[in-house]
Amino acid sequence: MDKTAVVPVNGKSPMSTKKPMGQRVKEFVIDYKRQWEIQSMVIPGIIFMIIFCFIPIYGLTIAFKSYTVIDTLDSAPWVGLENFRIILSDKYFWDAVVNTLGISFLKLAIGFVIPIILSIMIYELSGGRFKKIVQTISYLPHFLSWIVLGGMLIAWFSSSGMFNEILLSLGLISKPVNILLDANKYWWIATLSDIWKEAGWGTILYLAIMSKIDPTYYEAAKIDGASRMRQIWNITLPNMKPIISLNLILTVSGLLGSNLDQTLVLMNSQNRVKAEVINSYVYRMGMTQGDFSYATAVGLGVSIVSVILLISANKVSSKLNDNQSVL
């Protein structure tokens, strides 16, 4: 028996492109009414998306306006690209760009490679209890909030804290120093604390991909006398190439983004010159100083550049991967 005959309530009328417009609209309305129960489940989501996603996207227009606290979104006067022109000559903004890029490149250079190495190391373990313990411990820091980790970092680096004690006992310093107050070390603190928190978590996806590699490759390589390092180089890594390039593209497109939670908790008056990133600058201009239009313009400009970065990173990688686009 025909399925649609059993469940006529859901049956979508066979649609033909040759039917006139009026009839198609009529069919749509009839179908829609018949489906009211299932539609009533989706409609709240549509309303949510319109209010909480599409209205703010429309709200981006204030980047081209001069919005003050007394204005509404529509009453504010248009100023064209004036806000963007101010950005170009805003010294503090460009300082924030330098800091953002500096931290992002450090995170890319170190933080991108460590999860790959770590996942290979875990994969090479023969299994059993030790593997389980290593995984359990390395995933844990991911679940700490940045506020908690920030508080911990402040405690570790304080003059009577653990970090100074280790350096003192190793004889690397003669007097305790609080490196959180040293602006020149901030980029490293931001990078290394991020790696400490996320490196273990970053291995999950890689380990999942590795578990799908055909074990006969390794057996064949072993018979041919390939060393373990050689097996990693010639079997494991080539199999991970697609996921690594996908991750790399996403990382490159996120170069201008940074972790606002991390910045807000670790920034203080001493290290601000090196710690202020684009995100925190938008936050400061918009939320603290109330310059909504300018802050939105900064945010919008940065997102546009990020999209361009994403597209070009994808282009470059598809060239490198024999014209096969990863995205």
Partner 1 sequence: MNRTVAKEDLDSRIFNAINIILLCICTVIIVVPLWNVVISSLSSGKALAEGGFIFWSPEFSLENYRAVFQDETIGLAFVVSLAKTFIGVITHVFFCAMIGYGLSKKYIRGRKLYVAMGVITMFFSGGMIPTYLLIKSLGLLNSFWVYIIPALFSYYDVVILMNFFRNVPDSLEESAKIDGAGDWRIFLKIFIPLSMPAMATIALFNGVGQWNDFMTTKLYITDQSLYPLQMKLYEIIVQSQTQSMQNVGGSAIIETTTKGVQLATIVITTLPIVVMYPILQRYFISGMMMGAVKE
Q: 201-230: which residues touch partner 1 (CB under 8 A)?
A: 204-205, 208, 222, 225, 227-229
Characterize 197-235 residue by residue with b for buried, 16 or more Cβ atoms within 10 angstroms of its Cβ, and e for exposed. bbbbebbeebbebbeeeeeeebeebeeeebeeeebbeeb
Which segment (79-87, 101-109, 142-150, 315-323) binds partner 1 by CB under 8 A? Answer: 142-150
Cα(235)–Cα(230) distance, rounded to whole angstroms? 8
Least Å distance, CB 322 to partner 1, is: 23
Which segment (89-97, 105-113, 196-204, 233-241) binds partner 1 by CB under 8 A? Answer: 196-204
Q: Which of 68, 75, 165, 173 binds partner 1 (CB under 8 A)?
A: 165
C-alpha pair distances (Å), 57 with each of 33, 52, 98, 202, 282: 31, 9, 27, 31, 17
Q: Which of 25, 46, 173, 220 binds partner 1 (CB under 8 A)?
A: 46
Would you give the distance in Å from CA 253 to the centre of its chain?
9
Q: Is 249 in the site for partner 1 (CB under 8 A)?
A: no
Q: Are 64 and 81 in contact (CB under 8 A)?
A: yes
Q: Is 85 in the site for partner 1 (CB under 8 A)?
A: no
Cα(90)–Cα(113) distance, rounded to whole angstroms? 35
Q: Is 68 in the site for partner 1 (CB under 8 A)?
A: no
Q: Which of 125, 237, 320, 327 binds partner 1 (CB under 8 A)?
A: 125
Cα(7)–Cα(5) distance, rounded to whole angstroms? 6
Q: Is 80 in the site for partner 1 (CB under 8 A)?
A: no
Q: Are 99 and 277 in contact (CB under 8 A)?
A: yes
Q: Which of 182, 185, 261, 318 binds partner 1 (CB under 8 A)?
A: 261
Q: Which of residues 270-289 bind partner 1 (CB under 8 A)?
A: 270, 282-283, 286-287
Q: Which is nearer to partner 1, 81 or 208 (CB)?
A: 208
Q: Which of 247, 214, 233 lies closest to 115 in space, CA to CA?
A: 247
Tokens 């593209």 label which residue? 249
Which segment (87-95, 102-110, 151-159, 314-322) binds partner 1 by CB under 8 A? Answer: 151-159
Cα(90)–Cα(227) distance, rounded to whole angstroms? 56
Q: Which of 16, 17, 126, 288 binds partner 1 (CB under 8 A)?
A: 126
Cα(189)–Cα(179) distance, rounded to whole angstroms? 9
Q: Which is nearer to partner 1, 42 or 109 (CB)?
A: 42
Which segment (47-55, 80-88, 95-103, 182-190) binds partner 1 by CB under 8 A? Answer: 47-55
Least Å distance, CB 112 to partner 1, is: 17
